[in-house]
Amino acid sequence: MMNNSDLSIVILCAGNGTRMRSQKPKVLHTLAGKTLIERVVETASLLEPKKIILVHNPEHRTQLEDLLQNLPITWVAQTERRGTGHAVLQALPYIETKQSLVLYGDVPLLPQNLLTTLQEQTATQFGMITARTPRPHGFGRIIRDEKNNIIRIVEEKDADASTKLIEEINTGIMLFPTQFLQESLPKLEPKNAQGEYYLTDCVALWQEKSIPVKSVSATCFWHIQGVNTQAELVHLERTWMRYQAEKLLEQGVRITDPERFDIHGNLICENDITISPNVCIKDHCEIGENSTIGNNCSLNRVRIGKNVVIGNFCELENVHIEDNAKIDSFSKLENTLVGQHAKVGPYAYVRPGTKIGNHAKLGAFVEAKNSELEYGSKVAHLSYVGDCKIGENSNIGAGFVHANYHGPHREKSTSSIGKNAFIGANCTIVSPITIGEDSTVGAGTTVRKNVADNAMHVTLGKEVTKENWQEQEQPSPSNNEENSSLQTL
């Protein structure tokens, strides 16, 4: 890492983004789960500059501050949008370092190593990042002399037919000696089709020093691609997703359809994992060696062990999944631990704080929150388990509900079920309850008191059968009296 105590980074994000056709500022649109401006500021922070200066539209200040409130940013308003040169001029009084790097709030996927390379090759000179593309329409063209030195940049609207054929383009990313900016920015003139002050005109002013402009070429066009429209945003996001999928494929992860794979973060992985179509992995993610199910296990990333299968349309956010587990289709897991050989879903909703132990099962249409299933326990289907601990090898029947919501402004209480317990179908336990080990709760029971170890607990009620029920005269809709036959049932 270079010592960047003499570096300031100026990020330009004052544009209105009218082509996005949105009430939201352009830089607040998201790409793979993060706003464009967040991505740019995070990359800038990795360089560890002395100062990050955000040149913004004052109408957007509140929204930007709410998003970036925890980051050390110097805020500079550009009340009039009069071009990139004018924008940097607003930041100039706040720059106290020898070097100034200019970035853009709508270029979200710029890699740190490209900027580091620019710094290394530029030293104390003027440097810039360029790129080549067979479709350069809309970009400023790089003009070089017979010695291949950059002598000026011509914007698209100011270019003649021959200039428009040039495939080397300006990315706008430039590294300046600050003293040169102080001398040059006041000299810029709006002599162009846009009537704006172009930062790119500094290239021609640098020629007076008879020192070549240094340049670094971006190897991937999407690294330097900006966003101006919704279509460009979608295309860039899919390019990023495809790139992440290809990295995983190279490492032995089987992604059955890379075009239908979403990842909102960085993924490090082992092999022999199968990820089905339309899986979404959110936040900072890591797929790697076995994690340990326990209280000290971190939940700030996704970790998936070997031989794990993820079904269609699953969403994983801050999840640890150990070896040989299976997450069936249409399941959503948040801040959850899943043990070895465990099975989740299909259609499971696993909310934060849940731990599913080794060989445990949390099945179809089950919702769990802040609960623990220990080794071999099963909640197979159609149940709600919230704030409840279930011991080893216990079986919870269909339709189980842990009733622990006691109204607003009251804390939810917890319950526990001992190991080897058997809870019948359609049972409700009203927390706080303790159900002992090796105990049985009969089907349809509402449990309102603790159940001892090795006990049977059942609601006994009279069962009535009414013969020939369909042949009896049914009550008139206008009859306000309750039907006596119904009362007997």
Q: Which amino acids are annotated catalytic?
A: 381
CA torsion sign for 135, 137, 142, 148 is: positive
Lookup: tokens for 3: 């010592």
Q: How far apart are the C-alpha atoms of 261 and 193, rounded to whole Å? A: 43
Inter-CA distances, 463 with 265, 459, 489, Å: 57, 12, 8
Instruction: Give the helix/strand (H/E) hosting 237.
Output: helix 230-250
Helices 112-122 and 36-46: crossing angle in degrees, nearest 10, is: 50
In angstroms and rounded to an integer, the radius of gyration of the C-alpha atoms of the chain is 32
Residues of 410-424 as b/e, b for ≥16 C-beta within 10 angstroms?
Answer: eeeebbbbbbbbbbb
DSSP annotation of 302 reads B
| Beta strands, E only, 233-377 | 254-255, 261-264, 274-275, 279-282, 303-304, 309-310, 315-321, 326-327, 332-338, 343-344, 349-350, 354-356, 361-369, 372-373
Cβ–Cβ < 8 Å for 287, 267: yes
- Kindly give the pairing relationship between strand 34-35 and strand 254-255: unpaired
Instruction: Judge whether 445 and 418 are in contact, CB under 8 Å.
Output: no
Amino acid letter, residue 408: P
* Residue 474 DSSP class: P
Tokens, residue 84: 């990139």
Say if residues 388 and 371 touch (Cβ distance below 8 Å): yes
**Which of 53, 60, 45, 65 minimizes the C-alpha distance to 14?**
60
DSSP string of 369-412, one letter each residue? ES-EE-TT-EEEEEEEEESEEE-TT-EE-TT-EEE----TTSPP
Read off the tokens for 224. 């330097």
| Strand partners for 143 | 152
Q: Are 425 and 443 in contact (CB under 8 A)?
A: yes
